[in-house]
Structure 1
């Protein structure tokens, strides 16, 4: 059994099931049945509006976002699907803080639920910088199926990589 890099931390029986579906060429169809909704958020401005709507619904007191965009430069090999940038600059006698969220451009073709999951993940970093218990509780508050979506996203990435 060849290792599945996106699923390496999951139990072996789940990895075996994914490999069997891959071998039978059924993984793509199974994912499409489970997530039939295409992602309609295609432009950077639509993404900005989408992310800000979620932020206003769940994180009203979080710092404002200065930029939200799809990024072609994010490296899937390194496992980066989204990133947060927090920059503080001194302008005169004031401290200006900017928050940016960048999401890998592959999410333009991903099912809508996966874009929701990665957006929730990146928004949670506005409150919790580390991947700790509070971070995952916040993710589950914003997206109740967060853990299932994260697993299914990893399966989808595996399917995309296997071509």
Structure 2
């Protein structure tokens, strides 16, 4: 639905949006297995914790499935206690952030932002930090161009980081 909202905002026709969704889905059905095969052939340890491509989401979903089948007894000894403590801490931090003046609130971190590296790995948070530092310096040098081109440059860097894995896989399998 988000794509249709974007299409509405950019005055694209719903039909062209639907056709592009169908074409994109069909391409994904062909490209995704090919890319998986390329990764599978290039890296023998793909998906494992210590490998170059650890697949953190797979580990999370596997553990959720085990938790659903075995219940809370499958968790380590004090895991549930830690969950309750950090849940309460997140609520308290958000309440403090909402109750203090805006001048002070901007220095209190968001608990969700602090949780991202634990969920998907620290590499993502480090990339975002470096990108924000570059944008910060760019805004100091030329604020108008930074505001105009910042999102496009950030999108290009994220896309380029993802696309670079394909030549890297080809190089590894050769």
Is TM more than 0.5 here? no
TM bracket, shorter-chain basis:
under 0.3
The structure in which a higher percent of residues are helix is 2
Please identify the structure whose Cα radius of gyration is greater.
2
Question: TM-score when scaled to structure 2?
Answer: 0.27
Structure of higher RCO (CA pairs closer than 8 Å, 6+ residues apart) = 1
Higher normalized strand content (fraction of residues): 1
